[in-house]
RNA sequence: ACCCGGAUGGCGAAAUCGGUAGACGCGAGGGACUUAAAAUCCCUGGAUCGCAAGGUCGUGUGGGUUCGAGUCCCACUCCGGGUACCA
């Protein structure tokens, strides 16, 4: 028998389960929730557990977040990294409808599958604190959150338009409407008015906007929120209706152009339409209103062709005293501003188009630098407010637009015609869903007592199991078909009463989940005061920018409300937020219809979870995403194989190479900096480069050379690093071993390659001492024949950048 | 239409401050070791002219600033994402 034993190869299939079991047994990933000294809350956006299973995009996001969490742990923080499932909502419900299953049975299966896949990825998640938004233990507190808003007067009910498919006989979310038709049957979608619950997020617009100033968030996310909140300063101006007592109030950001307002436009739904319309125009106006109502909300906003009808009425322009016609048109939206505008066709593109179509007068009241007061406007409106000056505007002639805005507003205000107003694009949050798969809104209607909130002691209002959860033609929730559920005694007077049958929006489930995690096992409170103050606000939140607006804005709003209600002492939930990029394949978004979806299981099986994690991080900058290629993964796997072999074969009785040690110290610095900045791809490249040095020429590797590399790779390839750490003779987890330190003295070079340019062109390189003087460098350059031959004629100038270059200009 | 990103070898990418463009990896070619293969190690690798030394060109396009531009400024093209009649 041979006494040669083959070296053990890296075998992820064996070591990955071994370490996952050990982590679970030892509670390695559990945070000390009640007594952590240096708490660090690392949060990632929780997934919707789809039936298709974990998407490679999910794993890309989670891995990046996990690396950041593990890195902080190595730096010495007590890291709490929870994860859970956003399991309620229309996605799950529609999928269940499509395959003829029930969401209450389907969801647990999907969650179990996700759980299996996620555990395999080796995330440092404290699974004790897992949440599932569709479980009564969780949504009891979602309902409690609703009640907190209700108590503060921030939840109210009003009639609002919804998309309605007359064929499917159901309410559709905006995302289910494609080009004005139902995504399922293709029927043209209409709008219906239904009583719905709203949250008064608009009251928080200013605060939501102002706090963006100091939040440490990805700039793209901040700008998306800023645009969404859409603050605009302007004025509300009143126009008296000629011959009537009514006045029309309009909102405008260009009060300076009032002398050019040649007509008014009301939204078709505007309440004044009924009173101002003349007898002669009544039929035309009613017809137009009817036609508008038939259109869905989306197509109304995307059709650019202007339409409208004259009401027959006139209003008085307070600046000019002229009578101007009042029209209705669907390009004016009831939900923004006052639902009415003053039209200034000379200086607004939409008004210009409308005025041309209906032959309404177009007047110039702003002139550009090259225009005179009587220069015709031509084919387009003049909208430049940076360079324009007023003309044809009485005493305001000559004023620049910015000054005129203030001056005109003050003048109109003095005459009782208007006030300065700030408007927001942000509208109140409609949380009602006439659907089944969500938390019932905890409200009871009593004929005697009116709207009664469900007492907290009676929470949760459990979602009943009903087989027929499909929405029907009534336009009200499926729960309304179940009398045994919705008929309840009034909590106040005991008389027969009815439950609210709408469920709340999925976005409410996710607007407070970060508050729940540390207290997930508590059944007596939504969130424990001590734990919350210890762990929140979240130190690092990582997620997709598709949630830049809704989820992140709603979470901020709910947090502010919780603070105002006295439940917490901070008002911003996420101190730091970073948006990751998207994984595409062959230049296209991954989707089932394109057949380019990656199943992570297959790759983890073939290459190991660690290699797969590392490959996802290596394929491009984390904050930009990248293109998934099958071949690329072999490179990181080879790196792990080689690092493995180096650890396995490392010795303590071979010389340590000073240059290798320098390289290791540089790599510690670079990987630390890059990991902190989420530059995972370059951190991995640096580790590869270092290993190449370490092994170059098949040299014997010293234990001390390779040991820090195991610590550096740990956040990226956790199972792998644990096994290597054990091979190096340690018994504890590598994640409790800390982050290696580097010696700053090791980072500086004594000698550098100085680039020598002549007239900006590289002509040579000199190996010189780092602190060489310009004169010495110059002497060195002139001594080099290859450089000197380009230095012909008089030397006009010499640029010397120490340690970098010498440029000789002749 | 508007607001954000982005465009660099055959491919994914790097270049943190205006200072050697292409690190690292994939794919490709060649070599060493091996009976052979795998693994490992070494070498080549933007284009073009040249036997070579070496030259010239080169970061989407066109201008500009600078001793020097992938990086800054102006104008534009294309691609991706978001918002969309917001007054």
* Protein CA at A552 to nucleotide C1' at B23, angstroms: 37
Lowest mean pLDDT among A38-47, A67-76, A345-354: A345-354
Asked if residue A199 has a cis previous peptide bond (ω within 30° of 0), the answer is: no
Query: Is A670 within 7 A of strand B by CB distance?
Result: yes
pLDDT value for A146: 97
* Protein CA at A9 to nucleotide C1' at B33, angstroms: 20
pLDDT band (50, 70, 90) for residue A595: low
Q: What percent of chain A has pLDDT over 70?
A: 94
How many other CB atoms are found less than 10 A from the CB of residue A320? 17
pLDDT value for A303: 58
Q: Is the pLDDT of residue A168 over 70?
A: no
Query: Is A761 within 7 A of strand B by CB distance?
Result: yes
Q: Which nucleotide is nearest to A220 (CA to C1')?
A: B4
> Strand B: which of residues 327-346 in chain A lie with Cβ below 7 A?
330-333, 335-337, 339, 341
Query: Is A627 within 7 A of strand B by CB distance?
Result: yes
pLDDT value for A186: 66
Q: φ, ψ for residue A681 (rounded to 5)?
A: -65, -40
Q: Is the pLDDT of residue A802 over 50?
A: yes
Alpha carbons A88 and A541: distance in angstroms, whole number: 22
Mean pLDDT of A553-559: 95
* Protein CA at A809 to nucleotide C1' at B54, angstroms: 22
* Protein CA at A342 to nucleotide C1' at B85, angstroms: 14
**3-state class of A155 per DSSP?**
strand
pLDDT value for A1: 35
Lowest mean pLDDT among A191-195, A621-625, A637-641: A191-195
Q: Nucleotide B2: nearest residue by CA–C1'?
A: A227
Alpha carbons A490 and A531: distance in angstroms, whole number: 36
Alpha carbons A257 and A319: distance in angstroms, whole number: 10
Q: Is the pLDDT of residue A631 over 80?
A: no
Alpha carbons A446 and A409: distance in angstroms, whole number: 48
Alpha carbons A311 and A501: distance in angstroms, whole number: 40
Concatenating the DSSP letter of every residue in A518-544 gives GGTT-SS-SS-HHHHHHH-SBSEEEEE
Tens digit of each residue's pLDDT (9 = 90 or more) over A7-61: 788 999 999 999 999 999 999 999 999 999 999 999 999 999 988 888 888 999 9
Tens digit of each residue's pLDDT (9 = 90 or more) over A463-480: 999 888 887 777 678 888
**3-state class of A33 per DSSP?**
coil
Q: Is the pLDDT of residue A514 over 60?
A: yes
> Strand B: which of residues 247-306 in chain A lie with Cβ below 7 A?
251-254, 267, 300-306
- Which neighbouring-strand residues pair with A43? A541
Query: Is A54 within 7 A of strand B by CB distance?
Result: no
Mean pLDDT of A584-607: 77
Asked if residue A614 lies in contact with residue A585, where contact means CB atoms within 8 angstroms, the answer is no
Q: What percent of chain A has pLDDT over 90?
A: 57
Q: Which nucleotide is nearest to A255 (CA to C1')?
A: B87
Query: Is A631 within 7 A of strand B by CB distance?
Result: yes
Q: Which residue has the tokens 């100091």?
A: A214
**CA torsion, points A345, A351, A356, A357, in degrees to nearest 10?**
-160
CA nearest neighbour of A608 among A636, A571, A585: A636
Alpha carbons A101 and A116: distance in angstroms, whole number: 22
Sign of the CA dihedral with A117 first, then A120, A124, and A126 last: positive
> Strand B: which of residues 205-224 in chain A lie with Cβ below 7 A?
219-220, 223-224
- Token duo for residue A38: 């240096």
Asked if residue A656 lies in contact with residue A746, where contact means CB atoms within 8 angstroms, the answer is no
pLDDT band (50, 70, 90) for residue A787: confident
Q: What share of chain A is helix, strand, coil (3-state, %, to 5)?
A: 40, 20, 40
First to last CA, chain A: 77
> Strand B: which of residues 513-552 in chain A lie with Cβ below 7 A?
545-546, 548-549
Query: Is A234 within 7 A of strand B by CB distance?
Result: yes
Q: Is the pLDDT of residue A137 over 80?
A: yes
Tens digit of each residue's pLDDT (9 = 90 or more) over A688-746: 999 998 888 778 888 999 999 999 999 999 999 999 999 999 999 999 999 999 988 87
Q: φ, ψ for residue A532 (rounded to 5)?
A: -65, -45
* Protein CA at A791 to nucleotide C1' at B17, angstroms: 29
pLDDT band (50, 70, 90) for residue A537: very high
Q: Which nucleotide is nearest to A298 (CA to C1')?
A: B84
Q: Is the pLDDT of residue A678 over 50?
A: yes
* Protein CA at A685 to nucleotide C1' at B25, angstroms: 8
* Protein CA at A539 to nucleotide C1' at B49, angstroms: 59
**3-state class of A304 per DSSP?**
coil
Q: Is the pLDDT of residue A4 over 50?
A: no
- Token duo for residue A40: 């660090």
Alpha carbons A47 and A250: distance in angstroms, whole number: 44
Lowest mean pLDDT among A168-172, A230-234, A458-462, A463-467: A168-172
- Which neighbouring-strand residues pair with A489? A496
Q: Nucleotide B15: nearest residue by CA–C1'?
A: A682
**Highest mean pLDDT pick, A150-164, A512-526, A769-783:** A512-526
Alpha carbons A262 and A362: distance in angstroms, whole number: 7
Chain B bases near protein Cβ (<7 Å): 3-6, 11-16, 19-21, 23-27, 39-42, 54-56, 67-69, 80-87
pLDDT value for A2: 38
* Protein CA at A594 to nucleotide C1' at B70, angstroms: 35
* Protein CA at A200 to nucleotide C1' at B26, angstroms: 53
CA nearest neighbour of A627 among A636, A635, A615: A615
**3-state class of A164 per DSSP?**
strand
Asked if residue A686 has a cis previous peptide bond (ω within 30° of 0), the answer is: no
Mean of pLDDT over chain A: 88
Higher pLDDT, A392 or A760: A392
Q: Radius of gyration (Cα) for chain A, nearest Å?
A: 34
Tens digit of each residue's pLDDT (9 = 90 or more) over A238-273: 999 998 889 999 999 999 999 999 999 999 989 999
Alpha carbons A169 and A471: distance in angstroms, whole number: 8
Q: Which nucleotide is nearest to A670 (CA to C1')?
A: B16
Alpha helices in A324-421 (DSSP H): 349-357, 401-414
How many other CB atoms are found less than 10 A from the CB of residue A661? 16
CA angle A239, A242, A243 (to 5 degrees): 140
Q: Is A760 buried (19+), middle (13-18) or exposed (0-12) by CB count in 10 A? A: exposed
Exposure on the CB side of residue A465, measured as CA atoms within 13 A:
7
Q: Is the pLDDT of residue A3 over 60?
A: no
Query: Is A647 within 7 A of strand B by CB distance?
Result: no
Domains in chain A, start-ordered, CATH in brackets? 231-424 (3.90.740.10), 749-809 (3.10.20.590)
């Amino acid at each position: 028998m041979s006494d040669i034993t083959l070296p053990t190869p890296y075998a992820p299939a064996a070591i990955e389960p071994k370490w996952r079991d050990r982590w679970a047994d030892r509670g390695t990933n559990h945070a000390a929730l009640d007594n952590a000294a240096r708490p660090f809350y690392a949060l990632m956006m929780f997934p919707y557990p789809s039936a298709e299973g974990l998407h490679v995009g999910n794993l890309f996001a989670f891995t990046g977040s996990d690396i950041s969490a593990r890195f902080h742990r190595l730096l010495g923080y007590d890291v709490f990294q929870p994860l859970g499932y956003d399991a309620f909502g229309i996605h799950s419900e529609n999928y269940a409808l499509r395959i003829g299953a029930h969401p209450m049975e389907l969801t647990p299966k999907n969650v179990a599958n996700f759980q299996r896949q996620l555990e395999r990825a080796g995330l440092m998640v404290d699974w004790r604190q897992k949440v599932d938004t569709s479980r009564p233990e969780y949504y009891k507190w979602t309902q409690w959150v609703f009640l907190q808003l209700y108590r503060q007067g921030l939840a109210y009910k009003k009639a609002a338009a919804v998309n309605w498919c007359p064929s499917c006989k159901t309410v559709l979310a905006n995302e289910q409407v494609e080009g004005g038709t139902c995504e399922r049957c293709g029927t043209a979608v209409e709008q219906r008015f239904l009583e719905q619950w709203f949250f008064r997020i608009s009251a928080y617009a200013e605060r939501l906007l102002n706090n963006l100033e100091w939040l440490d968030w990805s700039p793209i996310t901040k700008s998306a929120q800023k645009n969404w909140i859409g603050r605009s300063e302007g004025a509300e101006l009143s126009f008296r209706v000629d011959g009537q007592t009514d006045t029309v109030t309009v909102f405008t950001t260009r009060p300076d152009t009032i002398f050019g307002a040649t007509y008014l436009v009301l939204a078709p739904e505007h309440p004044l339409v009924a009173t101002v319309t003349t007898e002669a125009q009544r039929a035309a106006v009613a017809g137009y209103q009817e036609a508008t109502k038939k259109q869905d909300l989306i197509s109304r906003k995307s059709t650019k062709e202007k339409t409208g009808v004259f009401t027959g009425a006139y209003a008085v322009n307070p600046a000019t005293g002229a009578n101007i016609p009042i029209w209705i048109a669907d390009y004016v939206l009831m939900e923004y501003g006052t639902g009415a505008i003053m039209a200034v066709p000379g200086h607004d593109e939409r008004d210009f188009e409308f005025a041309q179509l209906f032959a309404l007068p177009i007047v110039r009241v702003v002139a550009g630098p090259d225009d005179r007061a009587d220069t015709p406007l031509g084919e387009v409106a003049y909208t430049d407010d940076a360079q324009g000056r007023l003309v044809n505007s009485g005493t305001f002639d000559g004023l620049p637009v910015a000054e005129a805005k203030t001056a005109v507003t003050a003048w109109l205000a003095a005459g009782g015609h208007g006030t300065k107003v700030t408007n927001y694009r942000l509208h109140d949050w409609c949380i009602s869903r006439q659907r089944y798969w969500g938390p019932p809104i905890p409200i009871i209607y009593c004929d005697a007592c009116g709207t009664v909130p469900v007492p907290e002691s009676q929470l949760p209002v459990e979602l009943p199991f009903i087989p027929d959860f499909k929405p029907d033609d009534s336009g009200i929730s499926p729960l309304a078909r179940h009398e045994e559920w919705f008929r309840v005694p009034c909590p106040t007077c005991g008389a027969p009463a009815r439950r609210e049958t709408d469920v709340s929006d999925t976005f409410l489930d996710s607007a407070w989940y970060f508050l729940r995690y540390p207290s997930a096992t508590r059944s007596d409170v939504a969130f424990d005061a001590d734990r919350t103050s210890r762990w929140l606000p979240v130190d690092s939140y990582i997620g997709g920018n598709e949630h830049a607006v809704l989820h992140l804005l709603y979470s901020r709003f709910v947090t502010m409300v919780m603070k105002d209600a006295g439940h917490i002492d901070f008002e911003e939930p996420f101190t730091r937020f970073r948006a990751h990029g998207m994984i595409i394949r062959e230049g296209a978004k991954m989707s089932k219809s394109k057949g380019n979806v990656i199943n992570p299981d297959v790759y983890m099986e073939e290459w190991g979870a660690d290699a797969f994690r590392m490959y996802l991080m290596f394929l491009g900058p984390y904050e930009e995403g990248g293109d998934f290629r099958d071949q690329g993964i072999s490179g990181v796997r080879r790196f792990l194989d080689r690092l493995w072999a180096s650890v396995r074969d490392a010795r303590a009785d071979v010389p340590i190479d000073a240059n290798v040690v320098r390289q290791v110290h540089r790599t510690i610095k670079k990987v630390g900096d890059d990991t902190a900045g989420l530059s995972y791809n370059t951190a991995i490249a640096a580790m590869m480069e270092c290993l190449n040095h370490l092994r170059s020429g098949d040299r014997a590797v010293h234990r001390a050379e390779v040991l820090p590399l195991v610590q550096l790779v740990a956040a990226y390839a956790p199972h792998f690093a644990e096994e290597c750490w054990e091979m190096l003779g340690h018994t504890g987890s590598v994640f409790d071993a800390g982050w290696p330190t580097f010696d700053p003295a090791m980072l500086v070079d004594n000698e550098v390659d100085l680039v020598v340019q002549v007239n900006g062109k590289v002509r040579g390189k000199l190996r010189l001492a780092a602190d060489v003087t310009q004169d010495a460098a110059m002497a060195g350059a002139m001594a080099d024949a290859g450089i000197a031959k380009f230095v012909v004629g008089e030397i006009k100038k010499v640029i010397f950048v120490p340690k970098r270059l010498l440029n000789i200009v002749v």
